[in-house]
Amino acid sequence: MKNLKYTIGGLLIIILGMGMVYAGDGQIDIATLPYIINQSGSYVVVKNLDLSTTGTDGITISVDNVTLDLNGHTLTGPGKAAGTIGSGIYVSSIYYNIAIRNGTVRDWRESGVYGYTARNSQFEHLRCYNNGAWGIIAATGNLIKENNCSYNDCAGIAAVNSCTILDNTCTNNGWDGIAPGNDSTVSQNTCYFNVAAGIYAGMGCTINDNTCNQNDDSGIYSSMYSSLRGNTCCGNVLEGIVSGDGSQFIENTCFNNGANGINAYPGSTVSGNTCYSNTLRGIRASTFCMVSRNTCYGNGDDGIFADTSSLVSGNTCGLNTGDGIEVNYSCRVVDNSCSNNGNNGDGAGINATGSRISIEHNLVNFNDRGIDSNPATYNYIASNRASNNTTDYDIVAGNLYGQIIDGTAGGLIHTLTTDPFANFSF
């Protein structure tokens, strides 16, 4: 093709002979819609572009190795209810090495950016708004970074497996804020006011440092073997964070959610989290979980509930409406501090509801009952300290427990008892 360039009064004019218009830097200009990219290269949108025709995509990419720079411009479609098909930018089949960046894509019937078939590709600095399907939909192994995707009718960002999704903001979408597939990394995103979950992730995902507030489902929902660290989930209609079997919940903050702060499935590790003012439990842990060093206060039911064969250690649980900690069969409950539970309700510091539970070295103060193993039996209760509960120890016959020593008058412990298994009231 042949391009003729000349200037009039200092204004650079580019006349297209046949084919593509190249700017001086080797980029190929896009100045009209619809536009089809079927040669590899670097493309730039040179002005805001509208398309009122329905049933077609704005820019179609049908080749490998394309960089498409919107250069700050907007691609506006005919409206998200207009016609039946048409995305703003459409990758038409399996193509590799696509980069799309720097602009707004809005009001398209389907997605803002449809990259479901793009491989080894990047989507950055896009603002996808008010589209009829996804803001951005990406495929396996893509990078999706620093976009805003809001008011779209499906998820703000959806992706297949093994994607990296960083620093995006996804609000007010008609489904999830961000919905990645298995083995994805999802970090430092903000997702709020979405109709479903803030983040809805597949198996084995790494989900760190996101903020997911006021979504109509859970803040974060992920499947098995996921790792969730440092997330904040507030004011969601259902759970703050829920994840499948074998997940790790580390140092998250979950408050004011409409169900549990954290809901952990079997075999999970739940450590260092803060869960407060949730409508149900602060932490609900299933069987075979390790629940340690969490702080759970002011929840509408128990601070922590742990099901069969869990270890519950080193937690602080206070001012919950139900129990500080409730445990089921074969749990170990060690070194916890539970105070002021049964607040505006009825609860124990530690409530054993099953049997074969070991309750040792805990501190329970100002609860309705300090340690409650009634009517539960066959539990082991030793070396605990209880003060100022309405009933410090509510333990029925059939349990195995250290003698209960009244230390309310103070004094030297060893003059009261030398029994290392003794439980104290003080």
Near Ca ion by CB under 5 A: residue from 326, 331, 341, 380: 326
Pick one of 368, 370, 386, 423: the residue that binds Ca ion (CB under 5 A). 368
The whole-angstrom separation of Cα 362 and Cα 198 is 37
Pick from 374, 384, 423, 425: which binds Ca ion (CB under 5 A)?
A: 374
CB count, 10 Å around CB of 329?
18
Task: Examine residue 342 and tell whether it contacts Ca ion (CB under 5 A).
Answer: yes
Q: How far is the CB of 336 from Ca ion (least distance, A)?
A: 15
> Which of 183, 323, 360, 392 is in the footprint of Ca ion by CB under 5 A?
323
Which one among 107, 110, 360, 372 touches Ca ion, defined by CB under 5 A?
Answer: 372
What is the 8-class DSSP label of residue 344?
T
Characterize 98-122 residue by residue with b for buried, 16 or more Cβ atoms within 10 angstroms of its Cβ, and e for exposed: bbbbbbbbbbbbbbbbbbbbbbebb
Q: In the complex, what is the shortest distance from the CB of residue 297 to Ca ion, in angstroms, rounded to a whole number?
A: 15
> Scanning the structure block, which residue is given the tokens 């140092």?
251
Which CB, 225 or 393, lies closer to Ca ion? 393
Nearest residue to Ca ion by CB is 342
Instruction: Give the range of 30-38, 64-72, 144-152, 366-374 binding Ca ion by CB under 5 A.
Output: 366-374
Please report whether residue 307 would count as binding Ca ion according to CB under 5 A: no
CA distances from 236 to 178, 214, 357 (A): 15, 4, 34
Q: What is the CA radius of gyration of the chain?
A: 29
Contact call for residues 233 and 198 (beta carbons, < 8 A)? yes
- Letters for 82-121 (x = contact with Ca ion by CB under 5 A, - = none) are ----------------------------------------
How far apart are alpha carbons 89 and 98 in whole angstroms? 12
The nearest distance, CB 348 to Ca ion, in angstroms, is 7
Tokens encoding 317:
């649980």
217 binds Ca ion (CB under 5 A): no
Site map 221..260 versus Ca ion, x via CB under 5 A = ----------------------------------------
Distance in angstroms (rounded) separating the CA atoms of residues 196 and 217:
5
Q: What is the DSSP string of 32-97?
A: SSSEEE-S-EEEEE-S-EE---SSS-SEEE-SSSEEEE-TT-EEE-S-TTSSS---SEEE-S-EE-
Total residues interacting with Ca ion, rule: CB under 5 A: 8
**Residue 134 tokens, joined:** 């996804």
Site residues for Ca ion, 268-297, by CB under 5 A, read none
360 binds Ca ion (CB under 5 A): no
Of 103 and 342, nearer to Ca ion (C-beta) is: 342
Residue closer to Ca ion (CB basis): 239 or 368: 368
CA 147 to chain centre: 17
CB 289 within 8 Å of CB 270: yes
Q: Cis peptide before 420, with omega less than 30 degrees from 0? A: no
> At a CB cut-off of 8 Å and minimum separation 6, what does 410 contact?
426
**Which span sits near Ca ion by CB under 5 A: 114-122, 292-300, 362-370, 410-418?**
362-370
With CB under 5 A as the contact rule, the residue among 177, 261, 303, 322 that binds Ca ion is: 322
The one segment of 1-9, 43-51, 185-193, 323-331 that binds Ca ion by CB under 5 A: 323-331
Identity of the residue, 153 or 372, whose beta carbon is nearer to Ca ion in the bound complex: 372
302 is an interface residue for Ca ion by CB under 5 A: yes
Listed in sequence order, the residues at least 6 apart from 73 whose beta carbon sits closer than 8 Å to its beta carbon are: 45, 46, 47, 48, 49, 103, 104
**Given the complex with Ca ion, which of 187 and 377 has the nearer CB atom?**
377
Closer Cβ to Ca ion, 158 or 357, answer by number: 357
121 versus 374: smaller Cβ distance to Ca ion: 374
> What is the nearest approach in angstroms of Ca ion to the Cβ of residue 244?
24
Output the smallest distance, CB 317 to Ca ion, in A. Answer: 11
> 377: burial class by Cβ within 10 Å (0-12, 13-18, 19+)?
middle
> For Ca ion, which stretch binds (CB under 5 A), given 47-55, 162-170, 248-256, 363-371?
363-371
Query: Using CB under 5 A as the criterion, which residues of the chain lie in contact with Ca ion when the complex forms?
Result: 302, 322-323, 326, 342, 368, 372, 374
